[in-house]
Chains A and B, each alone.
Chain A
Amino acid sequence: MIIDRSHRGWFIASLILLAVGGLLYVPYAFLSTAGVGGGSVPGIIYGSVGSAMMIFAGLLGARKKYRTWRLGRATWWMRGHLWLGFLSFPFILFHAGFRLGNGPLTRVLMALFLVVFISGIVGAVLQHFMPKMMTERVSMETVFDQIDSVLDQLVTEAAQIISDIAAAVEHQIEREEAAEELLPASGRARKAGVVTAPDERVSGQITSFFQSQMKPYLLSRHTRKYFLGNPIQASTAIQQLKVLVPQSLWAKFDDLENICEEKRELERQRKLHKILHGWLLIHIPASYALIFLGVVHAVLALRY
């Protein structure tokens, strides 16, 4: 979700809440006889408000999972998640008296809280430019989950092309050999020094290129070690193979080059997708742990 003008209401409300919380904190900090801390009445209030904000933010997952719930639009929940999640940070700091935790549980809580908060900020920032970048850099985007399946299909397609090329080359060789037999002896001698048709080695080269380079490249997730990942080097290699075959087969090599380009795009899409969504692997588990330990902390802190 991009933070734009439609967030203005949430922004203003958050600003007001923050201002109120801060203004109330100042006299509390100066006048408190026992010092600021989570166990004081204002500290408990700040902690409760911050926790409520965090729980609301955590409910976004449930709202997105149960889309038929009539509890406000998902975009409204998303905005609440962003702004109340952001606001929970200063309120928890007010609750803790700007201390990062002195006991084991409170230290872990504060560490988890920082992880969740920072990862959330990172995710929100990424949302603002990564999608556009993907649109610009990945012209033919596919479903992320299906990239491996598509790559398998590309391998099949490339194998078919290679097979077609090899068959065409074999056929060309047979035709040349048959034509040569019909030539007089003088004609064979004149032709001996001229290479006009592919020989058996070309087919082997092309097949070997596919087996040793192209197929592993298409199936691999670590494409840096393959020169086919570089468009210029891939084009050069394929050009070198192109000149070995008749011009009628050159279009097939163009298709092979096209397949390599598609592979590069799919890998680009995979990489960008991981950047765009990878932070969730930290943000979501950490937030569940935070909420669980937060409940434990609240129950025990109220006891003592």
Chain B
Amino acid sequence: MPRVRTTKSLAKRIDLQYFTRRDAFRRWRLWLSLGIPVVAAGWIIYATGSRNQNLYTKGPLSSAHAVLTTNCNLCHVRAASYRAPVPDKACLSCHDAPPHNPRQTFTPACSSCHVEHMGKARIGETSDSACTQCHSDLKTTDGQHSVDSRVSGFDKKHPEFAVLRADRSDPGTINLNHYLHLQPTVRGPRGAVQLVCEDCHRPTNAQDAWPYSVAVVQPASQQPIVVGVADSQQQKRRSVKAGAGAYMASIRYVNQCAACHVLQFDRIIPEPAPHDKPEIVHAFIVKQYTDYIATHPDARRLPVLAIDDGMPPGLTQSILRPTGNESVTLASSPSDWVQQRTAEAERLLWNKNCKICHISTEHPGSGLPESVKAVIPGRWLPRAEFDHAAHLMLTCEACHASIRNSRKTSDTNLPSIGLCRQCHKQAGASKLAAEGRCFECHSYHDWRKERRVNGIMDITQP
């Protein structure tokens, strides 16, 4: 009889108790289901036993804090409850964080802007939303705003630089015509020169000598003592955090102007007048003439040259040459000679040399002029950081394009924000652009008020 397979015959083969035993598949499933979680639990227990808290970290710390990776308790301070968040005081135990603005309505927690455990990213690279949470609709404690109240991003929602707005201009009081100074026919100490930007404008950390400084025309021993605002004070007006080369060195007569704008007042006195307050200049001139007449008593017989007011203001030397228009006056005594000579010299200086650059008025009492305080801004964007050193690959005129045609002091020859946007974008490197987030130019903390923080960590000596 042929072998026939039916469901009944097949069913008869089945052991009716088969379901009470696990087959290999089900055994494997059971052991794996127990074994893998046990391995996972063993891993956790081992890490806990070896106090390896790094197991639970959200991610690696930033480069600056990487040394603290195995010391979670330095930042994660255990509160009374189970939780161990990072309070602000943990950050402040190592870092000072000067407040942003006394009129801000709330102070965000350190960790809300400076997010850790994100790997090697700089912890100072805060997201724009940390700033725009306030500045997109700015509110202050007194309701007053000194900045635009709706700033929500650099690409589109950032106002033009304040100094370039319609109602602003260069506040400088020194007459300066860039157009003239950049002509090839400008007369220098040894003939015509072609000035370039670097002749007058250099970063603060530049070491090489100024090409048109007082040293060109005057021996070091005779150079005037510099008086005025010290560099350190100027630095304080700028950002304390600015790196070397960020800003340009101050414009000072002795560095940038002295070689061409020589304050020589009399051909018989080789030393030029100091670039200083009128009373000091007056005292200098009087002393020079007094010393001269003491050593040259016959000079009293020399005529005192009177300056023809009709002559155009020009270089001092041409004025000092006799032209035939002078009236000749002989002094009756040495002091009279000094007085006459001083008057003429000061007339030359106050009415010609100084007036080329300075705005001045006559003081009613002393008869000496009073110059309007020279204001040459050293930092044009007081609420932002700008680093010239980071932009060294550009030519000066790439940004300061209007300089060659600038004839007036009031011209503000700064680039507009649109020019900056050509390179700087909010998305930064991800859009193959320079960084454009808020932190690139602005600092939340007012570092001028930074205070020293004493460290709290100790190192076990080997």
Residues of A near any B CB (own CB < 8 A): 30-35, 37-39, 102-106, 108, 140, 142-146, 149-150, 153, 251, 254-255, 258-259, 262, 274, 277, 280-281, 284-286, 288-289, 292-293, 296-297, 300-304
Contact = CB atoms under 8 A, between A and B. Distances in A.
Nearest to A251: B2
Contacts of A292: 37, 40-41
Contacts of B54: 103-104
B29 A284 contact: yes
B13 A153 contact: yes
B280 interface: no
A235 B19 CA distance: 36
Interface in B19-62: 19, 21, 23, 25, 28-29, 32-33, 35-37, 39-41, 44, 54-60
A288 B56 contact: no
B36 A285 contact: yes
Contacts, number: 131
A300 to B, nearest CB: 5
15 contacts: A32-B129, A103-B58, A145-B18, A145-B21, A153-B13, A251-B2, A258-B2, A274-B25, A277-B25, A285-B37, A296-B44, A302-B83, A303-B84, A304-B56, A304-B58
B108 interface: yes
A304 B55 contact: no
The 8 closest A-B pairs by CB, nearest first: A102-B59, A285-B32, A103-B57, A255-B3, A285-B36, A145-B23, A33-B130, A300-B56
A268 to B, nearest CB: 15
Contact of A284 (B5, B32, B83): B32
Contacts of B23: 144-145
Contacts of A303: 82-84
B129 A33 contact: yes
Interface residues of B, number: 50
B63 interface: no
B2 A255 contact: yes
Contact of B37 (A39, A289, A297): A289
A12 B414 CA distance: 59
B55 A104 contact: yes
Interface string B70-97: 0010001000001111000000000000
Contacts of A277: 25
A304 B18 contact: no
A104 B111 CA distance: 22
A286 B2 CA distance: 50
Most chain A CB neighbours (cut-off 10 Å) among B29, B56, B129: B56
A31 B3 CA distance: 77
B2 A103 contact: no
B127 to A, nearest CB: 6
Contacts of B112: 33-34
Contacts of A289: 36-37, 39-40
A262 B5 contact: yes
A300 B84 CA distance: 10
Contacts of A259: 3
B15 A280 contact: no
Given A33-B130, A292-B40, A303-B83, A140 B60 contact: no
Nearest to B83: A303
A271 to B, nearest CB: 13
A31 B55 contact: no
A35 B25 contact: no
Q: Which of A142, A255, A289 counts the most B-chain CB atoms under 10 A from its CB?
A: A289
Given A30-B129, A255-B2, A284-B32, A102 B40 contact: no
Contacts of B249: none
B384 interface: no
A304 B127 contact: no
Nearest to B57: A103
Contacts of B130: 33-34
A35 B58 CA distance: 14
Nearest to A292: B37
B127 A284 contact: no
Given A35-B127, A39-B58, A103-B57, 12 more contacts: A34-B127, A37-B58, A38-B58, A102-B57, A140-B5, A143-B14, A150-B13, A297-B56, A301-B58, A303-B83, A304-B83, A304-B85
Contact of B59 (A103, A142, A150): A103
B108 A33 contact: yes
A284 B32 CA distance: 8
Contacts of B108: 33
Contact of A106 (B14, B18, B58, B82): B58
Contact of A258 (B3, B55, B56, B60): B3
B7 interface: yes
A31 B23 CA distance: 55
A296 B45 CA distance: 11
Nearest to B31: A285
B33 A285 contact: yes
Nearest to A293: B40
Contacts of B83: 302-304
A140 B130 CA distance: 69
Contacts of A105: 55-57
Nearest to A300: B56
Contact of A143 (B18, B56, B119): B18
Given A140-B5, A146-B15, A281 B115 contact: no
Given A37-B58, A146-B13, A285 B84 contact: no
A166 B108 CA distance: 96
B347 interface: no
Given A33-B127, A104-B55, A288 B33 contact: yes
A281 B13 contact: no
A304 B84 contact: yes
A17 to B, nearest CB: 26
Nearest to A150: B13
Contacts of B281: none
B117 interface: yes
Contacts of A302: 83
A288 B32 CA distance: 10
B133 interface: yes
Nearest to A32: B129
Given A140-B5, A300-B56, A304-B56, A288 B127 contact: no
